[in-house]
């Protein structure tokens, strides 16, 4: 509408002027322009303000909840179906889903939290919980009267869903760590696919993959998952890299030992060179080497094991050395749901959460779209319904059997991870010797830790 006004102003004005150009003087015409422009501007303001007002009114009629999550098509469909079912049961509540892919979700979440516009129920990665809560109490404490938490493992709730002793989120699915293996490729390289791996075997047997076929590699890590192996190794020889007090737990010698060990991975072709894999940083499964079946193993969180289109896939335990200080294998909720501390509909939000976790209908509809449920009733139900993928099951069992202690959130801090990654990258490109890498590693960490 405003558009029409503006166009009219611009077109209509000169036409009127033609007839009276001799009688009007310049001052009057200036005033006309000014007045018309002001009218337009003010009208614009009015229109926009009006629009905003309409929006507010609309949301006050029913209870309207907003829920945000990330995922792929199957998760979106399942969640939307679960929402629809809830709305059937409780017609006075309407829930709108704001869903997207993983990429950019975190940035959007942070911006929304900063602007006070996040959804009422939010899907959150457990690794963000500490960072986000420490910057300002963004998630509401779970009201245990509305949400039944009895069927969840208490340790899980305390360690991964709480902040400073308060439960502020609920866990979706369990995820632990394992190795995906390509049985076919291993067999063709003369390796027994059922091997229980440790670090030495990776060297002595793993190198056969590359030796048999130089275009193949034992491990298909990108620089990030390579770092996971590094951290795993460090957890086993030193207990970890950074502990809960923000101090560095490992010594320089231990680091040198680790770097020297991993150098063999590059020298013997156990892992693909970084020059090729850094293109797929954080996306190892998009690497053509992996897709074409030329990597025999991959480090993976169990909740995201993907088997689509890959035959001969199986899972195995991650390498663990004898006398390991800690296995270094992590377990986390696959994701969390949390309620916005500033939500105007907390009660409704908690009720809805309770439905998602404890209602048999919801459990059935959601299935394992968010991983193997952390709620024991739900897990039982899904097993009875035959909806639990056997490979997921096996992977989860393997991982859970060797779970180590919880990793310090300082080691999971994004800046700390980047500091470690940078040194590992340089080492992998051959710019640093093991000694130099160990030194730089420690120095970088000390600098970053002093800052955060």
Partner 1 sequence: MNKKHVVVSKAISYFLLIFLALVMLYPLLWMAGGALKSNNEIFGSINLLPKNPVFSAFQEGWGGSGQVSFGRFLANTFALVIPTVLFTVVSSVLVGYGFARFDFPFKRMIFTIMLSTMMLPATVVIIPRYIFFSRLGWLDTYLPFIVPAALGCYPFFTYLMVQFFRGLPMELDESAKMDGCNSAVILVRILLPLCKSAIFSVIIFQFVWTWNDFFNVLIYISSVIKYPVALGLRLSIDIVSSNVHWNSLLALSLVSIIPPVVLFFSAQKYFIEGIATTGMKN
Partner 2 sequence: MKNKRRKGYAGYLYILPWVIGFFTLQLVPLINSFAYSFTSFSILGSPEFIGLENYRKIFTTDPDFLQSLAVTFRYVVMAVPVKLLFALLVALILNQEIKGIGLFRTLYYLPSILGGSVAISVLWKFLFMKDGIVNRFLSLLHLVPLDWLGNPRLSIWTIGLVTVWQFGSSMILFLAGLKQIPKVLYEAARIDGAGSMRIFWKITLPELTPILLFNLVMQTINAFQDFTPAFIITQGGPMKSTYLYGLMLYNQGFKYFKMGYASALSWVLFIIILFFTGLSLKSSSSWVHYGDTL
Applying CB under 8 A, the residues found at the interface with partner 2 are 30, 33-34, 37, 41, 106-107, 110-111, 113-114, 131-132, 135-136, 138, 223, 273-276, 278-279, 281-282, 288, 414-415, 422, 425-426, 429, 431, 447
| Overall residue count recorded for the chain in this entry | 452
Among 292, 347, 383, 443, binds partner 1 (CB under 8 A): 292
The option from partner 2, partner 1, none interacting with 309 (CB < 5 to 8 A, set by class) reads partner 1
Among 108, 151, 263, 346, binds partner 1 (CB under 8 A): 108
Contact 354, 146 (CB under 8 A): yes
162: three-class secondary structure by DSSP: strand
Residue 375 φ/ψ region, left for φ over 0, alpha for ψ in the -120 to 50 degree band, beta for the rest: beta
Among 46, 190, 273, 288, binds partner 1 (CB under 8 A): 288
Question: What whole-number distance in Å separates Cα of residue 30 and Cα of residue 192?
Answer: 89
Helices 414-428 and 252-267, packing angle to 10 deg: 50
The option from partner 2, partner 1, none interacting with 278 (CB < 5 to 8 A, set by class) reads partner 2
Task: Enter the tokens of residue 123.
Answer: 């899907």
Contact 336, 169 (CB under 8 A): yes
61-80: contacts with partner 1 (CB under 8 A): 66, 68, 70-77, 80
Helices 346-358 and 73-89, packing angle to 10 deg: 110
Taking the complex as a whole, the smallest distance from the CB of residue 165 to partner 2 amounts, in Å, to 20
Taking the complex as a whole, the smallest distance from the CB of residue 119 to partner 1 amounts, in Å, to 8
DSSP annotation of 103: T
307-336: contacts with partner 1 (CB under 8 A): 308-309
Contact 255, 442 (CB under 8 A): yes
168: three-class secondary structure by DSSP: coil
DSSP 211-234: HH-TT-EEE---HHHHHHHHHHHH
What does DSSP say about strands 166-167 and 162-163: parallel, antiparallel, or unpaired? antiparallel
Contact 113, 342 (CB under 8 A): no
Residue whose structure tokens are 């013997």? 268
Complex with partner 2: residue 54 or 451, whichever CB lies closer: 451
Binding-site string for partner 1 from residue 25 to residue 54, where x marks contact by CB under 8 A and - marks none: -x--xx--x----------x---xx-xxx-
Complex with partner 1: residue 198 or 312, whichever CB lies closer: 312
Complex with partner 2: residue 295 or 302, whichever CB lies closer: 295
Please enumerate in sequence order all residues whose Cβ is within 8 A of that of 55, keeping only pairs 6 or more positions apart, or say none.
Answer: none
**Residue 87 interacting with partner 1 (CB under 8 A):** no
Angle at 423 between CA 420 and CA 427, to 5 degrees: 135
Binding-site string for partner 1 from residue 116 to residue 135, where x marks contact by CB under 8 A and - marks none: xx-x----------------
Complex with partner 1: residue 64 or 203, whichever CB lies closer: 64
DSSP annotation of 268: T
Please enumerate in sequence order all residues whose Cβ is within 8 A of that of 300, keeping only pairs 6 or more positions apart, or say none.
Answer: 177, 178, 179, 180, 395
The option from partner 1, partner 2, none interacting with 414 (CB < 5 to 8 A, set by class) reads partner 2
Complex with partner 2: residue 314 or 422, whichever CB lies closer: 422
Interface segment toward partner 1; rule CB under 8 A; list 110-118, 135-143, 185-193, 197-205: 110-118
Among 1, 19, 22, 451, binds partner 1 (CB under 8 A): 22
The option from partner 2, partner 1, none interacting with 8 (CB < 5 to 8 A, set by class) reads none
Task: Enter the tokens of residue 67.
Answer: 């829920």
Complex with partner 1: residue 285 or 389, whichever CB lies closer: 285
Interface segment toward partner 1; rule CB under 8 A; list 87-95, 160-168, 279-287, 375-383: 279-287
Three-state secondary structure along 80-93? HHHHHHHHHHCCCE
Among 94, 112, 254, 444, binds partner 1 (CB under 8 A): 112
Tell me which residues touch partner 1 (CB under 8 A). 3, 6, 10-11, 13-14, 17, 21-22, 26, 29-30, 33, 44, 48-49, 51-53, 55-56, 66, 68, 70-77, 80, 96-104, 107-108, 111-112, 114-117, 119, 283, 285-286, 288, 291-292, 304, 306, 308-309
């Amino acid at each position: 509408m405003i558009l029409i006004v503006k166009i009219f102003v611009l077109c209509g004005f000169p036409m009127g002027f033609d007839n009276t150009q001799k009688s009007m003087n310049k001052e009057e015409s200036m005033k006309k322009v000014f007045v018309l422009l002001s009218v337009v501007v003010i009208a614009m303001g009015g229109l926009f303000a009006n629009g905003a007002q309409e929006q507010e009114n609309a949301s006050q009629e029913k209870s309207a909840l907003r829920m945000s999550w990330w995922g792929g098509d199957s998760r979106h469909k399942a969640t939307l179906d679960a929402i629809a079912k809830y709305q059937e049961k409780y017609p006075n509540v309407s829930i709108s889903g704001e869903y997207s892919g993983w990429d950019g979700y975190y940035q959007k979440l942070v911006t929304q939290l900063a602007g006070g516009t996040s959804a009422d129920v939010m899907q959150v990665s457990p690794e963000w919980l500490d960072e986000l809560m420490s910057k300002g109490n963004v998630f509401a404490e779970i009201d245990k009267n509305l949400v039944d938490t009895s069927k969840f493992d208490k340790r899980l709730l305390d360690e991964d869903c709480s902040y400073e002793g308060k439960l502020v989120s609920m866990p979706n699915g369990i995820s632990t760590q394992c190795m995906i293996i390509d049985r076919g490729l291993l067999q063709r390289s003369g390796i027994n696919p059922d091997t229980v791996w440790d670090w030495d075997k990776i060297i002595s047997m793993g190198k056969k993959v590359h030796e048999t076929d130089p275009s193949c590699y034992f491990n298909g890590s990108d620089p990030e998952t390579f770092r996971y192996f590094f951290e795993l190794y460090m957890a086993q020889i030193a207990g970890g890299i950074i502990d809960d007090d923000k101090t560095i737990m490992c010594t320089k010698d231990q680091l040198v030992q680790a770097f020297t060990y991993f150098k063999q991975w590059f020298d013997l072709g156990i892992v693909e060179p970084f020059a090729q894999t850094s293109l797929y940083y954080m996306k190892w499964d998009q690497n053509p080497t992996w897709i074409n079946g030329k990597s025999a193993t991959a480090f993976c969180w169990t909740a995201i094991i993907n088997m689509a289109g890959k035959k001969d896939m199986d899972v195995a335990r991650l390498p663990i050395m004898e006398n390991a200080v800690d296995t270094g294998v992590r377990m986390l909720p696959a994701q969390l749901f949390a309620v916005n501390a500033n939500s105007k509909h907390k009660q409704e939000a908690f009720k809805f959460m309770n439905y998602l976790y404890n209602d048999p209908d919801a459990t059935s509809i959601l299935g394992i779209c968010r991983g193997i449920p952390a709620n024991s009733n739900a897990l039982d139900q899904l097993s009875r319904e035959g909806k639990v993928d056997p490979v997921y099951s096996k992977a989860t069992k393997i991982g859970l059997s060797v779970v180590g202690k919880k990793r310090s959130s300082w080691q999971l801090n994004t800046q700390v991870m980047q500091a470690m990654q940078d040194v590992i990258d340089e080492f992998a490109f051959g710019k640093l010797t093991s000694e130099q890498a160990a030194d730089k590693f420690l120095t970088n960490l000390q600098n970053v830790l002093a800052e955060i």
